[in-house]
Structure 1
Amino acid sequence: MNVSVPLVVILGAVAWVAWRYMGLRAWHLVVCLLFGFLLAATSIAPEIDRMVTGLVRVFSTH
């Protein structure tokens, strides 16, 4: 799946809002990022990729 720039910007904005207004600490953000990178190296990564691709397609058609 190719991640588009708008999707990255939206997710970045959500992370910034969570950090700024919801009390997300910087170390929480680092742990989430590391979890994402490590999860991408597992055998379940292709299934997650298919699920995210399907969700993007569903929301982009509406």
Structure 2
Amino acid sequence: MAISLSVVVLLAIVLVVLIRGGSLKAGPAVVAVLFGFFLASTDMAPSVNKFMNSLAETISQINF
């Protein structure tokens, strides 16, 4: 839960920065948000969740 919440916050910050910077207009941003919302209710959601969890675990194991 903590990983998914932090990813949501990070993506929200990126989305706000892109909209304010003019790189992304409000219309496509709404479409992207709705796509993510509806993707979460499909059968593909567990696969996406597993991928994101494995990616976060891999990143956390990297020693700099």
TM bucket, shorter chain: 0.7 to 0.9
Please report the TM-score for the alignment, with normalisation by the length of structure 2: 0.76
Partner of 2:14: 14
Root-mean-square deviation over aligned CA pairs: 1.5
Unaligned stretches of 5+ residues in structure 2: none
Please report the TM-score for the alignment, with normalisation by the length of structure 1: 0.78
Tell me which of the two structures has the higher relative contact order, counting C-alpha pairs closer than 8 angstroms and 6 or more residues apart: 1
Q: Could you tell me the percent identity over the aligned residues?
A: 35
Q: How many residues align?
A: 60
Superposed structure 1 runs of 4+ greater than 4 Å apart = none
Please report how far the alpha carbon of residue 19 of structure 1 lies from its aligned counterpart in structure 2 after TM superposition. Answer: 1.5
Unaligned stretches of 5+ residues in structure 1: none
